[in-house]
Chain A
Amino acid sequence: MTKDPKVLANRLLQRAWNRDGLPEIGSGLFSLVAAGLIYAMQILPRRSPGQIAAILIFAFVLPLYGFCAQPLVKRIRSRWLLERAGYVQHLPNRNLKRNNLRLLAVMAVVMPLVFLAFNYSERLLLPMTGALGALICGLVGWSARMVRLMAGGAIMLATAILLALSSVPVMIGMAILFGSQGLYYLLTGGVAFLRFMNDER
């Protein structure tokens, strides 16, 4: 066990946050919807109402999930799971916001450079998305020491590399990548949720 109380506290908080599987179920649903929209954008006729709707939802509605997911999970817990999960009021996490901004800044610089280095190869989109997803899943999983979250990152990276090496069109590959990731997190989140609800502690 670590002797630094701050490290210990952050680990316990991360584990507590992911214990009931709700954040995973949320990100699983998000990934499945994203996969469906990417697929719809590819197969629907160009500039048809369906394709335009899919593009608009993908561009404007889906990113909203990123802002709403955390408050939504908190609300579900306090409304229906208070007796099981317990009550907690978190301190405002300025470090998290700062770290997210740093990650965005690094990606904004690194990704165009990698694309330039590989001569704008479209097929790079798959391994790059896989690597970024694996990095995020890996960091979240490592900070909570939760194997299932880290495994999700590894699966995403492996799937992305396999798809990049295959002859699948890139955007269909993206839909498969997000779809498989969504199914994985829906499954692990669902199992975690059932175990949490059956835990009689």
Chain B
Amino acid sequence: MSADIQKLGEVDRMIHEPARLMVVALLSAVKEADFQYLHRSTGLSKGNLSVHLSKLEEAGYVAIKKTFRGKYPLTICRLTERGREVLENYRKVIRAAL
């Protein structure tokens, strides 16, 4: 087994999970997005998305800020620097192995 494939065992399981990978990938391509945008774009249910966002926030990969725009409440999510680093590392490992 080559070293690249062995590295697959070291991938970050927090973002390897498909739903969380989708959320993190999407957030990596935007400056920030709110809960509704993520819900619409990923197709995840609101409950499911909420759980995954909480896990990502706990891990320090996503920062969440609650605010208002007029009367409309916004839950704005943003990928942290740590989140970007982890995603980039994940990308390198996967690309090298596959």
Segment 23-37 of A: residues with Cβ below 8 Å from B: none
Q: Are A12 and B69 in contact (CB under 8 A)?
A: no
Segment 10-64 of B: residues with Cβ below 8 Å from A: 18, 21-22, 24-26, 28-42
Q: Are A6 and B25 in contact (CB under 8 A)?
A: yes
Mark each residue of chain A from 41 to 72: 1 if its CB lies under 8 Å from any CB of chain B, else 0.
00000000000000000000000000000000
Number of residues of chain B lying within 8 A (CB) of chain A: 31
Chain A residues with CB under 8 A of B95: 4
Please report the C-alpha to C-alpha distance between residue A13 and residue B40 in the assembled complex, in whole angstroms.
11
Does chain B have a CB within 8 A of A201? yes
B20 to chain A, nearest CB (A): 11
Does chain B have a CB within 8 A of A89? yes
Please report the C-alpha to C-alpha distance between residue A89 and residue B25 in the assembled complex, in whole angstroms.
15
Does chain B have a CB within 8 A of A94? no
Please report the C-alpha to C-alpha distance between residue A84 and residue B11 in the assembled complex, in whole angstroms.
35
Chain A residues with CB under 8 A of B34: 86-88
Asked, given contacts A5-B24, A5-B87, A12-B41, whether A87 binds B69 with beta carbons under 8 Å apart, the answer is yes
Segment 75-127 of A: residues with Cβ below 8 Å from B: 82-91
Please report the C-alpha to C-alpha distance between residue A151 and residue B30 in the assembled complex, in whole angstroms.
28
Q: Are B91 and A6 in contact (CB under 8 A)?
A: yes
The main secondary structure of chain B at its interface with chain A is: helix
Chain A: interface size category? 20 to 34
A1 to B, closest residue via Cβ:
B18
Which residue among B18, B30, B38 has the maximum number of chain A CB atoms within 10 Å of its CB? B30
Please report the C-alpha to C-alpha distance between residue A26 and residue B72 in the assembled complex, in whole angstroms.
27
Which residue among A5, A82, A89 has the maximum number of chain B CB atoms within 10 Å of its CB? A5
Q: Are A5 and B21 in contact (CB under 8 A)?
A: yes
Q: Are B25 and A87 in contact (CB under 8 A)?
A: no
Please report the C-alpha to C-alpha distance between residue A1 and residue B22 in the assembled complex, in whole angstroms.
10
Asked, given contacts A1-B18, A5-B21, A5-B24, whether A86 binds B40 with beta carbons under 8 Å apart, the answer is yes
Q: Are B39 and A86 in contact (CB under 8 A)?
A: yes
Please report the C-alpha to C-alpha distance between residue A85 and residue B69 in the assembled complex, in whole angstroms.
14
Please report the C-alpha to C-alpha distance between residue A4 and residue B87 in the assembled complex, in whole angstroms.
10
Chain A residues with CB under 8 A of B94: 3-4
- Sorted nearest first, the 7 A-B pairs with minimum C-beta distance are A86-B37, A86-B36, A9-B29, A5-B25, A87-B34, A9-B25, A89-B31
Q: Interface of B with A (CB < 8 Å)?
A: 18, 21-22, 24-26, 28-42, 69, 72, 74, 76, 87, 90-91, 94-95, 98
